């Protein structure tokens, strides 16, 4: 059973600072979007007692999403106030506001459906591929099929663990 830490009172100061910086500097957004995304993750990601993320802020639902909805509304109002909304759409969010909000979500790790994340680094891709290869070997062994790769399974698992993988997750729900 995982213990979950719930924050009773949300300190919005860090979010206000990051959001204001993003909206004020919307023309140079790279670092600013990442900074705001990091702040949202820090405040809203649901974590266990060891600080591991259980659920990212953009996946929260129901009552857990209340703070995110308030942040989105604040973001929209600040974008409108700064004139970053297309002409004639000041009463509601525009594609411009939605585009920037999506960039913040993506900087937080969100991957839109049907799109492959281009931001995954080499180690993360290698880790995922190693897990697939090792699980394929486990599946082959479970099925009683001999494979030469079984000889290298230990070394592959060592590399997998060295890259940050959890060997206890290997061999579970394997699919070829």
Q: Where are the beta strands (DSSP E) in 24-172?
A: 46-48, 53-55
Q: Distances in Å between the alpha carbon of 26 and those of 3, 93, 94?
A: 38, 16, 15
Over pLDDT 90: what percentage of the chain?
12
Cα 134 to Cα 149: distance, rounded to the nearest angstrom = 9
Which tens digits make up the pLDDT trace of 43-55? 999 999 988 889 9
From the CB of residue 18, how many other CB atoms can be counted at a distance below 10 Å? 22
Inter-residue contact 4 to 54 (CB < 8 Å):
yes
Which tens digits make up the pLDDT trace of 91-141? 555 667 888 888 889 889 888 775 554 445 677 778 788 888 888 888 888
pTM passes above 0.75: no
């Amino acid at each position: 059973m995982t213990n979950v830490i719930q924050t009773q009172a949300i300190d919005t100061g860090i979010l206000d600072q990051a959001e204001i910086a993003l909206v004020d500097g919307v023309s140079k957004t790279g670092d600013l979007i990442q900074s705001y995304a990091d702040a949202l993750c820090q405040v809203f990601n649901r974590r266990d007692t060891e600080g591991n993320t259980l659920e990212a802020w953009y996946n929260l639902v129901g009552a857990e999403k209340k703070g995110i909805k308030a942040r989105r509304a604040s973001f929209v109002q600040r974008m409108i106030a700064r004139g970053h909304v297309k002409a004639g759409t000041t009463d509601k969010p525009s594609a411009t506001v939605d585009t920037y909000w999506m960039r913040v979500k993506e900087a937080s790790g969100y991957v839109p459906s049907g799109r492959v994340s281009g931001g995954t680094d080499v180690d993360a891709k290698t880790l995922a591929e190693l897990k697939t290869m090792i699980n394929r070997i486990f599946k082959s062994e479970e099925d009683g099929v001999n494979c030469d790769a079984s000889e290298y399974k230990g070394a592959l698992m060592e590399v997998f663990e060295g890259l940050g993988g959890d060997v206890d997750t290997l061999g579970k729900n394997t699919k070829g």
